């Protein structure tokens, strides 16, 4: 009984486990993440990554990403400011230590939206997140979603589809992800995601109620 009590106490003190959302570009990670943030106000916090890609219309510096030059990003990486970084579709992306700490300091569930290289790099850290892979139902549907989003040039689209092909193979690797969710019907995928995160959501709600 005491063992269970102390292990619960220790896990509450450690704060909620972060969540890694990964999967091909266009699979629906940002869409699902946005729904979580809207439904659970004050439960989740987004780890704002750095990137060297240009902002898309509607994206905000400091909210969607920290948009930086290659030189600034490389310097920060060399200074040890990042827990992981990767080159994706010709641009640099990375999770700074500060991005994660900012969210964890508020005792929120930290969500990282990162590519497969990031997943492998995070595995080598002590972050201990829940790893969720979001997949589209097929390559054809993925391509249609990416084209319809109208954010990519033909060149960028080709690179992203190639990365997606590799990603789909890796997502089947034993033990890499805690769960793989196929995002076909959005509401169904969202319900599945909530079930996976329920324990952490309840922990944050309970802690904030007792404060
Ligand atoms: N279940 C779904 N059914 C139909 N369209 C969807 C579904 N989920 C997402 N979409 C649409 O597909 C497009 C890609 O989704 P989203 O931008 O969330 O993908 P992503 O995985 O975050 O991509 P990236 O890694 O490039 O940021 C968006 O236009 C979104 O509205
Ligand atoms: N390894 C990392 N990957 C990241 C990070 N931030 C985003 N990403 C991934 O990049 C691609 C493309 O994103 P987009 O916004 O240009 O469409 C996508 O798979 C993201 O998950 C990061 O900090 N590290």
Q: What are the tokens at 67?
A: 């948009």
Confidence category of residue 208, pLDDT binned at 50, 70, 90: confident
CA dist., res. 85 & res. 49, Å (int)? 9
Interface predicted TM-score (ipTM) = 0.98
Atom of ligand 1 nearest to the CA of 115: 25
Work out the percent of the chain whose per-residue pLDDT is above 90.
89
pLDDT at 15: 87
- Identify which of 174, 157, 49, 186 has the alpha carbon closest to the alpha carbon of residue 112: 49
Name the DSSP class of 56: P
What is the CA(145)–ligand 1 centre distance, in A?
6
On whether the CB atoms of residues 171 and 135 are closer than 8 A, the answer is yes
On whether the CB atoms of residues 135 and 181 are closer than 8 A, the answer is yes
- Identify which of 57, 11, 4, 35 has the alpha carbon closest to the alpha carbon of residue 200: 11
Per the DSSP assignment, residues forming a β-bridge with 196 are none
What is the CA(113)–ligand 2 centre distance, in A?
6
160 tagged catalytic: yes
CA dist., res. 86 & res. 117, Å (int)? 6
Residues 6+ apart with CB under 8 A from 37: 44, 46
Residues with CB under 6 A from ligand 2: 25, 29, 49, 53, 84, 86, 88, 93-95, 113-115, 117-118
* pLDDT per residue as tens digits for the range 118-151: 999 999 999 999 999 999 999 999 999 999 999 9
Q: What is the model's pTM?
A: 0.94
On whether the CB atoms of residues 196 and 178 are closer than 8 A, the answer is yes
Delineate the domains of the chain, giving CATH numbers in brackets: 11-205 (3.40.50.300)
pLDDT at 209: 78
């Amino acid at each position: 009984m005491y063992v269970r009590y102390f292990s619960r106490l220790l896990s509450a003190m450690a704060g909620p486990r972060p969540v890694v959302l990964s999967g091909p570009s266009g699979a629906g990670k940002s869409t699902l993440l946005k729904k979580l943030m809207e439904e659970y106000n004050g439960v989740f916090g987004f780890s704002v990554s750095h990137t060297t890609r240009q902002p898309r219309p509607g994206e905000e510096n400091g909210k969607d990403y920290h948009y930086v030059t290659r030189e600034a990003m490389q310097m920060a990486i060399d200074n040890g400011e990042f827990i992981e970084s990767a080159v994706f579709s010709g641009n640099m992306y990375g999770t700074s230590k500060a991005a994660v700490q900012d969210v964890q300091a508020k005792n929120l569930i930290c969500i990282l939206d990162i590519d497969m290289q990031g997943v492998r790099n995070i595995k080598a850290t002590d972050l201990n997140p829940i790893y969720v892979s979001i997949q589209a139902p097929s390559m054809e549907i993925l391509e249609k979603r990416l084209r319809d989003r109208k954010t990519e040039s033909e060149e960028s689209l080709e690179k992203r589809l190639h990365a997606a092909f590799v990603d789909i193979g890796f997502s089947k690797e034993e033990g890499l992800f805690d769960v793989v969710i196929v995002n076909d019907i959005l509401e169904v995928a969202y319900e599945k995601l909530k079930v996976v995160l329920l324990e952490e959501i309840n922990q944050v709600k309970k802690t904030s109620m007792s404060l």
